[in-house]
Structure 1
Amino acid sequence: MVQGMFEELLCRGFIMGKILQKNLPITAIVVNSLCFAFAHCANDGINLLAWINLLIFALTMSILRLQTESLWLIGAFHSAWNFAEGVIFGTSVSGIASFDLIFKSVSRKNHPLINGGIFGIEASIVDLICGIALLIIVSYRYYIKSSPANLHKMDQQD
Protein backbone atom coordinates (compact mmCIF):
# COMPACT_ATOMS: atom_id res chain seq x y z
CA MET A 1 0.00 0.00 0.00
CA VAL A 2 2.92 2.32 0.65
CA GLN A 3 4.25 1.80 -2.86
CA GLY A 4 1.10 3.17 -4.52
CA MET A 5 1.17 6.31 -2.39
CA PHE A 6 4.91 6.76 -3.00
CA GLU A 7 4.44 6.49 -6.77
CA GLU A 8 1.66 9.09 -6.60
CA LEU A 9 3.75 11.45 -4.49
CA LEU A 10 6.64 11.14 -6.93
CA CYS A 11 4.73 11.32 -10.21
CA ARG A 12 1.57 13.33 -9.51
CA GLY A 13 3.00 15.22 -6.55
CA PHE A 14 6.58 16.15 -7.39
CA ILE A 15 6.91 15.83 -11.19
CA MET A 16 3.42 17.05 -12.06
CA GLY A 17 3.56 19.71 -9.35
CA LYS A 18 6.80 21.21 -10.71
CA ILE A 19 5.38 21.43 -14.23
CA LEU A 20 2.07 22.84 -12.98
CA GLN A 21 4.02 25.67 -11.31
CA LYS A 22 4.84 26.78 -14.88
CA ASN A 23 1.09 26.66 -15.70
CA LEU A 24 1.48 23.83 -18.24
CA PRO A 25 -1.29 21.36 -17.31
CA ILE A 26 -1.25 19.30 -20.51
CA THR A 27 2.54 18.98 -20.37
CA ALA A 28 2.27 18.05 -16.69
CA ILE A 29 -0.27 15.31 -17.47
CA VAL A 30 1.75 13.84 -20.33
CA VAL A 31 5.23 14.03 -18.78
CA ASN A 32 4.35 12.56 -15.39
CA SER A 33 2.22 9.85 -17.02
CA LEU A 34 5.09 8.81 -19.28
CA CYS A 35 7.46 8.79 -16.28
CA PHE A 36 5.02 6.57 -14.38
CA ALA A 37 4.66 4.10 -17.26
CA PHE A 38 8.39 3.99 -18.01
CA ALA A 39 9.17 3.42 -14.31
CA HIS A 40 7.50 0.01 -14.63
CA CYS A 41 9.47 -1.11 -17.71
CA ALA A 42 11.88 -3.30 -15.72
CA ASN A 43 9.07 -5.27 -14.04
CA ASP A 44 8.63 -8.96 -14.86
CA GLY A 45 6.23 -9.71 -17.68
CA ILE A 46 5.98 -6.15 -19.01
CA ASN A 47 4.66 -5.98 -22.55
CA LEU A 48 3.10 -3.34 -24.80
CA LEU A 49 -0.44 -3.90 -23.48
CA ALA A 50 0.74 -3.62 -19.86
CA TRP A 51 2.61 -0.41 -20.69
CA ILE A 52 -0.42 1.09 -22.43
CA ASN A 53 -2.64 0.18 -19.47
CA LEU A 54 -0.16 1.79 -17.06
CA LEU A 55 -0.15 4.92 -19.22
CA ILE A 56 -3.97 5.03 -19.24
CA PHE A 57 -4.00 4.62 -15.45
CA ALA A 58 -1.46 7.43 -15.07
CA LEU A 59 -3.42 9.76 -17.37
CA THR A 60 -6.58 9.05 -15.37
CA MET A 61 -4.87 9.71 -12.03
CA SER A 62 -3.33 12.91 -13.41
CA ILE A 63 -6.69 14.29 -14.51
CA LEU A 64 -8.20 13.28 -11.16
CA ARG A 65 -5.39 15.16 -9.43
CA LEU A 66 -6.20 18.28 -11.42
CA GLN A 67 -9.92 17.86 -10.83
CA THR A 68 -9.77 17.19 -7.08
CA GLU A 69 -6.46 18.87 -6.20
CA SER A 70 -5.89 15.90 -3.90
CA LEU A 71 -2.90 13.59 -3.76
CA TRP A 72 -4.62 11.73 -0.93
CA LEU A 73 -7.50 10.60 -3.14
CA ILE A 74 -5.33 9.28 -5.96
CA GLY A 75 -2.85 7.77 -3.51
CA ALA A 76 -5.69 5.97 -1.73
CA PHE A 77 -7.16 4.80 -5.06
CA HIS A 78 -3.79 3.50 -6.27
CA SER A 79 -3.05 1.79 -2.95
CA ALA A 80 -6.52 0.22 -2.82
CA TRP A 81 -6.07 -1.06 -6.37
CA ASN A 82 -2.71 -2.66 -5.50
CA PHE A 83 -4.14 -4.12 -2.28
CA ALA A 84 -7.17 -5.61 -4.03
CA GLU A 85 -5.09 -6.95 -6.88
CA GLY A 86 -2.42 -8.54 -4.72
CA VAL A 87 -3.73 -9.33 -1.25
CA ILE A 88 -7.42 -9.96 -1.99
CA PHE A 89 -7.25 -11.58 -5.45
CA GLY A 90 -3.73 -13.01 -5.16
CA THR A 91 -2.46 -11.85 -8.55
CA SER A 92 0.82 -10.21 -9.44
CA VAL A 93 0.88 -6.44 -9.06
CA SER A 94 2.67 -4.91 -12.06
CA GLY A 95 4.83 -8.02 -12.41
CA ILE A 96 5.64 -8.26 -8.70
CA ALA A 97 4.44 -11.50 -7.12
CA SER A 98 2.23 -11.01 -4.08
CA PHE A 99 0.82 -13.14 -1.33
CA ASP A 100 -2.82 -14.08 -1.21
CA LEU A 101 -5.01 -13.83 1.85
CA ILE A 102 -8.49 -14.33 0.42
CA PHE A 103 -8.23 -15.79 -3.08
CA LYS A 104 -5.40 -17.47 -4.95
CA SER A 105 -5.19 -16.57 -8.61
CA VAL A 106 -3.17 -18.77 -10.93
CA SER A 107 -2.27 -17.37 -14.35
CA ARG A 108 -3.09 -19.56 -17.30
CA LYS A 109 -0.34 -19.32 -19.85
CA ASN A 110 -2.81 -19.84 -22.71
CA HIS A 111 -4.85 -16.72 -21.79
CA PRO A 112 -2.44 -13.81 -21.15
CA LEU A 113 -4.72 -11.31 -22.91
CA ILE A 114 -7.48 -12.10 -20.42
CA ASN A 115 -5.52 -12.57 -17.17
CA GLY A 116 -2.37 -10.56 -17.93
CA GLY A 117 0.03 -13.48 -17.48
CA ILE A 118 2.87 -13.00 -14.99
CA PHE A 119 2.49 -9.20 -15.03
CA GLY A 120 -1.00 -9.47 -13.57
CA ILE A 121 -4.39 -8.16 -14.60
CA GLU A 122 -2.80 -4.82 -15.59
CA ALA A 123 -1.56 -6.54 -18.77
CA SER A 124 -5.01 -7.68 -19.83
CA ILE A 125 -7.68 -6.54 -22.23
CA VAL A 126 -10.08 -6.44 -19.27
CA ASP A 127 -7.91 -3.73 -17.68
CA LEU A 128 -7.66 -1.91 -21.02
CA ILE A 129 -11.45 -1.73 -21.39
CA CYS A 130 -12.00 -0.65 -17.77
CA GLY A 131 -9.12 1.83 -17.94
CA ILE A 132 -10.39 3.49 -21.11
CA ALA A 133 -13.91 3.73 -19.66
CA LEU A 134 -12.60 5.33 -16.45
CA LEU A 135 -10.36 7.73 -18.41
CA ILE A 136 -13.33 8.83 -20.53
CA ILE A 137 -15.53 9.39 -17.47
CA VAL A 138 -12.87 11.32 -15.55
CA SER A 139 -11.91 13.37 -18.62
CA TYR A 140 -15.53 14.21 -19.40
CA ARG A 141 -16.23 15.27 -15.80
CA TYR A 142 -13.08 17.40 -15.76
CA TYR A 143 -13.93 19.01 -19.11
CA ILE A 144 -17.52 19.79 -18.03
CA LYS A 145 -16.40 21.29 -14.72
CA SER A 146 -13.62 23.37 -16.27
CA SER A 147 -15.43 24.56 -19.40
CA PRO A 148 -15.64 28.37 -19.69
CA ALA A 149 -19.47 28.33 -19.74
CA ASN A 150 -19.62 26.47 -16.43
CA LEU A 151 -17.00 28.72 -14.86
CA HIS A 152 -19.05 31.72 -15.97
CA LYS A 153 -22.22 30.22 -14.42
CA MET A 154 -20.39 29.54 -11.14
CA ASP A 155 -19.16 33.15 -11.06
CA GLN A 156 -22.72 34.42 -11.55
CA GLN A 157 -24.08 32.21 -8.72
CA ASP A 158 -21.67 33.66 -6.14
Structure 2
Amino acid sequence: MFSNETGLFKQTKAAKFLPHIILAPILAIIFMIVGQLIGVIMFSLLSPLVHDSIAKSLFYLSFTFLFISLLVFAWVKFIEKRDISSLGFCKENFIKKYLLGFVFGFIMFTAVIVLLSITGHVVVDKNPVIPVGISALSSIFIILPGWIIQSGTEEVVTRGWLMNVIGARYNVPIGLFVSSSLFGLLHIFNQNVSIIAIMNIILVGIFFGLYVIRTHNLWGACGLHCAWNWAQGNIFGLEVSGSSLGTGSLLKLNLTGAQWFTGGAFGPEAGFATTIILLMGIVIVFVMLKKKSSL
Protein backbone atom coordinates (compact mmCIF):
# COMPACT_ATOMS: atom_id res chain seq x y z
CA MET A 1 0.00 0.00 0.00
CA PHE A 2 2.89 2.38 0.78
CA SER A 3 5.47 1.07 -1.65
CA ASN A 4 8.02 3.52 -3.03
CA GLU A 5 8.44 1.30 -6.07
CA THR A 6 5.27 2.65 -7.68
CA GLY A 7 3.79 5.95 -8.83
CA LEU A 8 5.57 9.23 -8.22
CA PHE A 9 8.03 7.68 -5.77
CA LYS A 10 9.35 5.37 -8.48
CA GLN A 11 9.71 8.32 -10.88
CA THR A 12 11.52 10.32 -8.19
CA LYS A 13 14.02 7.50 -7.66
CA ALA A 14 15.36 8.25 -11.14
CA ALA A 15 16.86 11.49 -9.77
CA LYS A 16 20.65 11.84 -9.82
CA PHE A 17 20.50 13.33 -6.33
CA LEU A 18 18.01 12.88 -3.49
CA PRO A 19 18.71 15.02 -0.39
CA HIS A 20 19.15 13.60 3.11
CA ILE A 21 16.12 13.61 5.42
CA ILE A 22 17.64 16.49 7.42
CA LEU A 23 18.63 18.52 4.36
CA ALA A 24 15.34 18.13 2.47
CA PRO A 25 13.12 20.12 4.90
CA ILE A 26 15.81 22.81 5.13
CA LEU A 27 15.83 23.09 1.34
CA ALA A 28 12.03 23.32 1.32
CA ILE A 29 12.19 26.23 3.76
CA ILE A 30 14.90 27.91 1.66
CA PHE A 31 12.72 27.55 -1.45
CA MET A 32 9.87 29.25 0.44
CA ILE A 33 11.93 32.10 1.91
CA VAL A 34 13.98 32.93 -1.19
CA GLY A 35 11.01 32.54 -3.54
CA GLN A 36 8.81 34.80 -1.43
CA LEU A 37 11.58 37.37 -1.12
CA ILE A 38 11.93 37.52 -4.91
CA GLY A 39 8.15 37.73 -5.23
CA VAL A 40 7.83 40.55 -2.71
CA ILE A 41 10.55 42.53 -4.49
CA MET A 42 8.83 42.03 -7.85
CA PHE A 43 5.47 43.01 -6.38
CA SER A 44 6.96 46.14 -4.81
CA LEU A 45 8.38 47.19 -8.17
CA LEU A 46 5.16 46.57 -10.11
CA SER A 47 2.44 47.47 -7.58
CA PRO A 48 2.63 51.25 -8.26
CA LEU A 49 1.42 50.46 -11.78
CA VAL A 50 -1.71 48.70 -10.45
CA HIS A 51 -4.40 50.90 -8.91
CA ASP A 52 -7.28 48.46 -8.44
CA SER A 53 -7.25 46.92 -4.93
CA ILE A 54 -8.57 43.54 -6.08
CA ALA A 55 -5.97 43.34 -8.84
CA LYS A 56 -3.29 44.23 -6.28
CA SER A 57 -4.45 41.37 -4.04
CA LEU A 58 -4.31 39.02 -7.03
CA PHE A 59 -0.79 40.11 -7.97
CA TYR A 60 0.42 39.92 -4.37
CA LEU A 61 -0.95 36.40 -3.90
CA SER A 62 0.51 35.32 -7.24
CA PHE A 63 3.97 36.91 -7.01
CA THR A 64 4.67 35.84 -3.42
CA PHE A 65 4.19 32.18 -4.39
CA LEU A 66 4.99 31.86 -8.11
CA PHE A 67 8.76 32.21 -7.71
CA ILE A 68 8.80 29.47 -5.06
CA SER A 69 7.50 26.99 -7.64
CA LEU A 70 10.02 28.23 -10.20
CA LEU A 71 12.87 27.59 -7.73
CA VAL A 72 11.63 24.04 -7.11
CA PHE A 73 11.31 23.41 -10.85
CA ALA A 74 14.88 24.65 -11.40
CA TRP A 75 16.20 22.44 -8.58
CA VAL A 76 14.44 19.36 -9.92
CA LYS A 77 15.57 20.02 -13.50
CA PHE A 78 19.19 21.04 -12.97
CA ILE A 79 20.24 19.49 -9.65
CA GLU A 80 18.20 16.31 -9.42
CA LYS A 81 18.18 16.04 -13.23
CA ARG A 82 14.69 14.62 -13.56
CA ASP A 83 11.61 15.73 -15.43
CA ILE A 84 9.34 18.28 -13.77
CA SER A 85 6.38 16.02 -14.56
CA SER A 86 7.73 13.61 -11.91
CA LEU A 87 6.49 16.10 -9.29
CA GLY A 88 3.03 14.86 -10.21
CA PHE A 89 2.19 16.94 -13.27
CA CYS A 90 1.11 14.22 -15.68
CA LYS A 91 -0.42 15.37 -18.98
CA GLU A 92 -3.21 12.80 -19.21
CA ASN A 93 -6.63 14.20 -18.20
CA PHE A 94 -4.96 16.85 -16.04
CA ILE A 95 -7.91 19.25 -16.23
CA LYS A 96 -10.32 16.52 -15.15
CA LYS A 97 -8.04 15.53 -12.27
CA TYR A 98 -7.72 19.13 -11.11
CA LEU A 99 -11.46 19.79 -11.31
CA LEU A 100 -12.28 16.55 -9.49
CA GLY A 101 -9.97 17.58 -6.67
CA PHE A 102 -11.50 21.07 -6.71
CA VAL A 103 -14.99 19.63 -6.27
CA PHE A 104 -13.84 17.37 -3.41
CA GLY A 105 -12.13 20.30 -1.70
CA PHE A 106 -15.21 22.49 -2.01
CA ILE A 107 -17.44 19.74 -0.62
CA MET A 108 -15.08 19.13 2.30
CA PHE A 109 -14.96 22.73 3.40
CA THR A 110 -18.70 23.10 2.90
CA ALA A 111 -19.07 20.10 5.25
CA VAL A 112 -17.16 22.10 7.88
CA ILE A 113 -19.62 24.99 7.48
CA VAL A 114 -22.60 22.62 7.67
CA LEU A 115 -21.25 21.14 10.91
CA LEU A 116 -20.70 24.61 12.36
CA SER A 117 -24.21 25.64 11.27
CA ILE A 118 -26.11 22.71 12.75
CA THR A 119 -24.27 23.15 16.04
CA GLY A 120 -25.11 26.86 16.15
CA HIS A 121 -21.55 28.15 15.77
CA VAL A 122 -21.91 30.35 12.69
CA VAL A 123 -24.09 33.35 11.85
CA VAL A 124 -24.50 35.60 8.81
CA ASP A 125 -22.84 39.01 9.17
CA LYS A 126 -25.59 41.56 8.54
CA ASN A 127 -23.19 44.51 8.39
CA PRO A 128 -20.19 43.29 6.37
CA VAL A 129 -17.31 45.67 5.71
CA ILE A 130 -16.35 43.89 2.48
CA PRO A 131 -18.37 43.49 -0.77
CA VAL A 132 -20.80 40.58 -0.42
CA GLY A 133 -23.15 38.77 -2.79
CA ILE A 134 -23.76 39.88 -6.37
CA SER A 135 -21.61 43.00 -5.95
CA ALA A 136 -18.65 40.76 -5.08
CA LEU A 137 -19.02 38.23 -7.92
CA SER A 138 -16.33 39.76 -10.12
CA SER A 139 -13.77 39.93 -7.31
CA ILE A 140 -14.58 36.36 -6.23
CA PHE A 141 -13.51 35.05 -9.63
CA ILE A 142 -10.74 37.57 -10.29
CA ILE A 143 -8.89 36.38 -7.17
CA LEU A 144 -9.25 32.68 -8.08
CA PRO A 145 -6.06 32.51 -10.24
CA GLY A 146 -4.16 33.80 -7.22
CA TRP A 147 -5.48 30.93 -5.09
CA ILE A 148 -4.59 28.51 -7.90
CA ILE A 149 -0.96 29.70 -7.82
CA GLN A 150 -0.77 29.89 -4.01
CA SER A 151 -2.23 26.46 -3.35
CA GLY A 152 -0.39 24.87 -6.26
CA THR A 153 2.93 26.22 -4.98
CA GLU A 154 2.40 24.83 -1.47
CA GLU A 155 1.55 21.46 -3.02
CA VAL A 156 4.66 21.56 -5.23
CA VAL A 157 6.94 22.19 -2.25
CA THR A 158 5.38 19.84 0.30
CA ARG A 159 3.69 16.99 -1.56
CA GLY A 160 5.17 17.18 -5.07
CA TRP A 161 8.78 17.58 -3.94
CA LEU A 162 9.40 16.99 -0.20
CA MET A 163 7.11 13.99 0.31
CA ASN A 164 8.34 12.32 -2.86
CA VAL A 165 12.09 12.80 -2.34
CA ILE A 166 11.98 11.54 1.25
CA GLY A 167 9.55 8.76 0.34
CA ALA A 168 11.77 7.68 -2.56
CA ARG A 169 15.02 7.76 -0.55
CA TYR A 170 13.62 6.25 2.68
CA ASN A 171 9.98 5.12 2.73
CA VAL A 172 6.54 6.53 2.02
CA PRO A 173 5.19 6.89 5.61
CA ILE A 174 8.28 8.91 6.60
CA GLY A 175 7.84 11.12 3.54
CA LEU A 176 4.18 11.66 4.41
CA PHE A 177 4.99 12.44 8.06
CA VAL A 178 7.85 14.88 7.38
CA SER A 179 6.03 16.78 4.61
CA SER A 180 2.82 17.08 6.66
CA SER A 181 4.72 18.21 9.75
CA LEU A 182 6.61 20.87 7.80
CA PHE A 183 3.35 22.00 6.21
CA GLY A 184 1.95 22.60 9.68
CA LEU A 185 5.08 24.34 10.96
CA LEU A 186 5.13 26.70 7.96
CA HIS A 187 1.97 28.27 9.42
CA ILE A 188 3.35 28.69 12.96
CA PHE A 189 3.87 32.45 12.59
CA ASN A 190 0.41 33.14 11.14
CA GLN A 191 -1.83 35.55 13.04
CA ASN A 192 -3.93 34.06 15.87
CA VAL A 193 -2.36 30.63 15.44
CA SER A 194 -3.06 27.93 18.04
CA ILE A 195 -2.09 24.35 18.81
CA ILE A 196 -5.33 23.09 17.23
CA ALA A 197 -4.58 25.17 14.13
CA ILE A 198 -1.16 23.57 13.65
CA MET A 199 -2.58 20.13 14.38
CA ASN A 200 -5.34 20.61 11.80
CA ILE A 201 -2.95 21.90 9.15
CA ILE A 202 -0.80 18.81 9.72
CA LEU A 203 -3.97 16.73 9.24
CA VAL A 204 -4.66 18.66 6.03
CA GLY A 205 -1.14 17.70 4.91
CA ILE A 206 -1.80 14.04 5.68
CA PHE A 207 -5.11 14.15 3.81
CA PHE A 208 -3.60 15.83 0.74
CA GLY A 209 -0.59 13.50 0.88
CA LEU A 210 -2.76 10.38 0.95
CA TYR A 211 -4.76 11.80 -1.95
CA VAL A 212 -1.56 12.22 -3.99
CA ILE A 213 -0.45 8.68 -3.13
CA ARG A 214 -3.89 7.34 -4.08
CA THR A 215 -4.14 9.20 -7.41
CA HIS A 216 -0.43 9.17 -8.47
CA ASN A 217 -0.58 12.85 -9.45
CA LEU A 218 -0.43 16.32 -7.92
CA TRP A 219 -3.24 17.90 -9.93
CA GLY A 220 -6.01 16.64 -7.66
CA ALA A 221 -4.31 17.85 -4.47
CA CYS A 222 -3.75 21.27 -6.08
CA GLY A 223 -7.47 21.43 -6.86
CA LEU A 224 -8.40 20.30 -3.34
CA HIS A 225 -6.17 22.92 -1.75
CA CYS A 226 -7.36 25.71 -4.03
CA ALA A 227 -11.06 25.02 -3.48
CA TRP A 228 -10.55 24.73 0.29
CA ASN A 229 -8.93 28.19 0.49
CA TRP A 230 -11.18 29.85 -2.08
CA ALA A 231 -14.37 28.55 -0.46
CA GLN A 232 -13.14 29.56 2.97
CA GLY A 233 -12.18 33.12 2.02
CA ASN A 234 -14.29 34.07 -0.99
CA ILE A 235 -17.44 31.98 -0.71
CA PHE A 236 -18.05 32.00 3.04
CA GLY A 237 -16.03 35.12 3.90
CA LEU A 238 -13.91 33.60 6.66
CA GLU A 239 -10.23 33.97 7.56
CA VAL A 240 -7.89 31.63 5.69
CA SER A 241 -5.24 30.37 8.12
CA GLY A 242 -5.42 33.60 10.09
CA SER A 243 -5.40 35.93 7.07
CA SER A 244 -8.00 37.78 5.03
CA LEU A 245 -7.53 39.38 1.62
CA GLY A 246 -10.66 41.48 2.06
CA THR A 247 -11.54 41.18 -1.62
CA GLY A 248 -15.18 40.20 -1.17
CA SER A 249 -17.16 36.99 -0.81
CA LEU A 250 -20.46 35.42 -1.76
CA LEU A 251 -21.46 35.25 1.91
CA LYS A 252 -19.97 36.83 5.02
CA LEU A 253 -20.18 34.47 7.96
CA ASN A 254 -19.06 35.07 11.53
CA LEU A 255 -17.96 32.32 13.89
CA THR A 256 -19.59 32.33 17.31
CA GLY A 257 -19.18 30.26 20.45
CA ALA A 258 -16.26 28.23 21.78
CA GLN A 259 -13.07 29.03 19.87
CA TRP A 260 -11.71 25.50 20.33
CA PHE A 261 -14.62 24.31 18.17
CA THR A 262 -14.94 27.19 15.67
CA GLY A 263 -11.32 28.29 15.31
CA GLY A 264 -11.99 31.89 16.34
CA ALA A 265 -9.91 34.63 14.70
CA PHE A 266 -7.67 32.14 12.88
CA GLY A 267 -10.66 30.76 11.01
CA PRO A 268 -12.26 27.30 10.97
CA GLU A 269 -8.89 25.59 10.42
CA ALA A 270 -8.16 26.19 14.12
CA GLY A 271 -11.37 24.52 15.28
CA PHE A 272 -12.36 21.00 16.27
CA ALA A 273 -15.20 21.07 13.74
CA THR A 274 -12.54 21.02 11.02
CA THR A 275 -10.67 18.26 12.86
CA ILE A 276 -13.75 16.04 12.63
CA ILE A 277 -14.19 16.59 8.88
CA LEU A 278 -10.47 16.09 8.19
CA LEU A 279 -10.35 12.83 10.12
CA MET A 280 -13.36 11.59 8.16
CA GLY A 281 -11.64 12.57 4.90
CA ILE A 282 -8.40 10.84 5.92
CA VAL A 283 -10.26 7.63 6.79
CA ILE A 284 -12.12 7.66 3.46
CA VAL A 285 -8.96 8.18 1.36
CA PHE A 286 -7.04 5.62 3.45
CA VAL A 287 -9.76 3.01 2.90
CA MET A 288 -9.76 3.79 -0.84
CA LEU A 289 -5.98 3.44 -0.90
CA LYS A 290 -6.06 0.17 0.99
CA LYS A 291 -8.82 -1.18 -1.25
CA LYS A 292 -6.86 -0.27 -4.39
CA SER A 293 -3.68 -1.94 -3.10
CA SER A 294 -5.57 -5.17 -2.42
CA LEU A 295 -6.82 -5.48 -6.01
Instruction: Provide TM-score, normalisation by structure 1.
Output: 0.87
Measured in 2, the distance between the counterparts of 1:127 and 1:107 equals 13
| 2:202 counterpart letter in structure 1 | L
Contact 2:242 2:266 in 1 (8 A): yes
Measured in 1, the distance between the counterparts of 2:255 and 2:288 equals 36
Q: Which residue in the other structure is 2:194 paired with?
A: 47
Aligned length: 147
Measured in 2, the distance between the counterparts of 1:35 and 1:7 equals 11
Larger mean Cα displacement after TM superposition, 97-106 or 75-84: 97-106
Root mean square deviation, CA, Å: 1.3
| 1:29 counterpart letter in structure 2 | L
Measured in 2, the distance between the counterparts of 1:107 and 1:83 equals 18
Measured in 2, the distance between the counterparts of 1:28 and 1:54 equals 16
Q: Which has the larger radius of gyration?
A: 2
Measured in 1, the distance between the counterparts of 2:180 and 2:191 equals 20
Contact 1:114 1:124 in 2 (8 A): yes
57, 70, 73: which one aligns with 2:217 = 70
Measured in 2, the distance between the counterparts of 1:86 and 1:113 equals 20
Q: Which residue in the other structure is 2:89 paired with?
A: none
Q: Which residue in the other structure is 2:179 paired with?
A: 32
Q: Which residue in the other structure is 1:135 paired with?
A: 282
Instruction: Provide TM-score, normalisation by structure 2.
Output: 0.48
Measured in 2, the distance between the counterparts of 1:113 and 1:103 equals 23
Contact 1:59 1:135 in 2 (8 A): yes
Q: Does 1:17 align with 2:157?
A: no
C-alpha displacement of 1:83 = 0.1
Measured in 2, the distance between the counterparts of 1:135 and 1:3 equals 23
Flag as ranges the 4+ runs of structure 1 deviating above 4 A: none
Measured in 1, the distance between the counterparts of 2:165 and 2:251 equals 41
C-alpha displacement of 1:24 = 1.0
Q: Which residue in the other structure is 1:104 paired with?
A: 252
Using CA pairs below 8 Å that are at least 6 residues apart, which structure has the higher relative contact order?
2
Measured in 1, the distance between the counterparts of 2:260 and 2:228 equals 19
C-alpha displacement of 1:77 = 0.6
Structure 2: segments with no counterpart, 5+ residues: 1-146
C-alpha displacement of 1:57 = 0.9
Q: Which residue in the other structure is 1:113 paired with?
A: 260
Contact 2:211 2:285 in 1 (8 A): yes
Q: Does 1:126 align with 2:273?
A: yes
Measured in 2, the distance between the counterparts of 1:77 and 1:70 equals 12
